[in-house]
Amino acid sequence: MGNPQQFKDISQVDFAKGNGLVPAIAQDVRTGKVLMMAYMNREALETTLKEGRACYWSRSRKELWRKGDTSGDIQIVKDVLVDCDLDTILLLVEQQGDGACHTKKWSCFFRRFTREGDLQEIDE
């Protein structure tokens, strides 16, 4: 995928540690809410940069996953950050449609643990 010259710094990303995949967090650029976490291989990262739309690697379907292609809930990517160890990606996105979660919640993180370890739903 892509021109190796064009994407040379992407070679620094440590895909090896995760057998070709790195975790990618998506954060709502407008509200700061953390929306979801998924995985990217190199092609997904390059596609995300090229298209300005979040593209992940589906571990269950084993294919490139242009988020929103079927649901319409696409993510316009405003910024692509990487952490100190170069093994985790953080996307700042404009979430479109009904939200990031397949349950149609805005964020996948809609439940919390109490201090006693009980799960409870939180208000959005």
Beta carbon nearer to a second copy, 27 or 75: 27
Residue 29 makes contact with a second copy by CB under 8 A = no
Site for a second copy in 47-66 (CB under 8 A): 49-50, 52
Residue closest to 15 by CA, chosen among 35, 41, 54: 41
55 is known to lie in a ligand binding site: no
Residue 124 makes contact with a second copy by CB under 8 A = no
CA 13 to chain centroid: 15
Residue 112 makes contact with a second copy by CB under 8 A = yes
Residue 102 makes contact with a second copy by CB under 8 A = yes
Give the 3-state DSSP-derived string for 32-97, with helices as H, strands as E and coil as C.
CCEEEEEEECHHHHHHHHHHCECEEEECCCCEEEECCCCCCCCEEEEEEEECCCCCCEEEEEEECC
Residue 69 makes contact with a second copy by CB under 8 A = no
- Smallest gap, in angstroms, from Cβ of residue 120 to a second copy? 9
Binding residue numbers: 83-85, 87, 101, 108
